[in-house]
């Protein structure tokens, strides 16, 4: 199961799992987009379910549908996120703060609860939470978004402690990845080259970079890894700062 899978990183992760022989349930708020993605990447091996990532009942229904369709949920990727506010954290209003917490922190928890209660407790599995390098830094524009991504790192550690040994729980912290939602950060004359020049690996991330790391964390290749976060950022945190100055933060 992959949440937030109608485009960008979520779609790339779903495609990677299909390429490795998995049957995949994709979810997001955009049913029409999900239907198109399912047809394009997997045929009968991919199903879709429209759901708000912060809705506990929708999460439960999606998990139950996945078990009915495919027999079990062995891998859960909590990728969905939101960032409805840009500006100083001191000025954020309560409704948008609560929405950000609800999707970015409570969301991964309730989807993991649903997968656990619908069979993962007995059969085991792997949970991967998609956080952000922003969880390690401060930022003038998306500070509260980064707070929720930092919280997700601790949710990952806590769940790893509680759900082992049968279920492993890990996280990914992407840096700036070239997706449509981050286009405003890297598009423009010379902008991409300027950002890439500050990175040790001299390029921005691709969806494939994140997808490959996700497959690794879901596979037996990482069988003795739980409660950890893999930073996939081209080296932007090497000096303790985000090289491009701010995270791409998903849109509202």
Any idea which residues carry the catalytic annotation?
145
The order of strands in the sheet holding 125-130 is 46-50, 24-28, 2-3, 75-78, 125-130, 167-174, 229-232
Q: Is 142 helix (H, G, I), strand (E, B) or coil?
A: strand
**CB atoms near residue 252 (< 10 Å):** 11
The Cα 105–Cα 214 span in angstroms is: 19
Give the ranges where the chain is alpha helix by DSSP (H). Answer: 8-19, 31-41, 56-70, 94-101, 107-115, 121-123, 143-163, 183-186, 191-197, 207-218
Please check whether residue 236 is in contact with residue 169, taking contact to mean a CB–CB distance below 8 angstroms. no
Q: Is 71 helix (H, G, I), strand (E, B) or coil?
A: coil
| Residue 228 to residues 35, 52, 172, Cα–Cα distance (Å) | 33, 26, 8
The most distant pair of C-alpha atoms in the chain lies apart, rounded to whole Å, by: 53
CA angle (230, 165, 157) in 5-degree steps: 40
Q: Is 199 helix (H, G, I), strand (E, B) or coil?
A: coil
């Amino acid at each position: 199961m992959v949440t937030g899978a109608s485009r960008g990183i979520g779609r790339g992760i779903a495609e990677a799992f299909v390429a490795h022989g998995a049957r995949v349930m994709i979810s997001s708020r955009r049913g029409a987009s999900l239907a198109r993605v399912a047809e394009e990447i997997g045929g009968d091996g991919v199903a879709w379910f429209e759901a708000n990532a912060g809705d506990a009942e929708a999460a439960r229904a999606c998990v139950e549908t996945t078990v009915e369709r495919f027999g079990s949920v062995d891998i859960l990727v909590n990728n969905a996120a939101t960032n409805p506010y840009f500006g100083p954290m001191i000025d954020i209003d309560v409704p948008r703060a609560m929405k950000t917490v609800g999707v970015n922190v409570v969301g991964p928890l309730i989807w993991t609860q649903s997968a656990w209660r619908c069979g993962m407790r007995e059969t085991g599995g792997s949970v991967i939470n998609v956080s952000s390098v922003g969880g390690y830094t401060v930022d003038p524009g998306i500070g509260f978004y980064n707070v929720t991504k930092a919280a997700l790192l601790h949710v990952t550690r806590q769940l790893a402690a509680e759900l082992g040994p049968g279920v492993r729980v890990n996280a990914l912290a992407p840096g700036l990845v070239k997706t449509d939602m981050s286009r405003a950060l890297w598009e423009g004359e010379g902008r991409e080259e300027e950002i890439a020049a500050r990175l040790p690996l001299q390029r921005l991330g691709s969806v494939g970079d994140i997808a490959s790391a996700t497959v690794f964390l879901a596979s037996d290749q990482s069988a003795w890894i739980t409660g950890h976060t893999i930073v996939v950022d081209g080296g932007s945190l090497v000096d303790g700062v985000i090289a491009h100055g701010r995270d791409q933060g998903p849109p509202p």
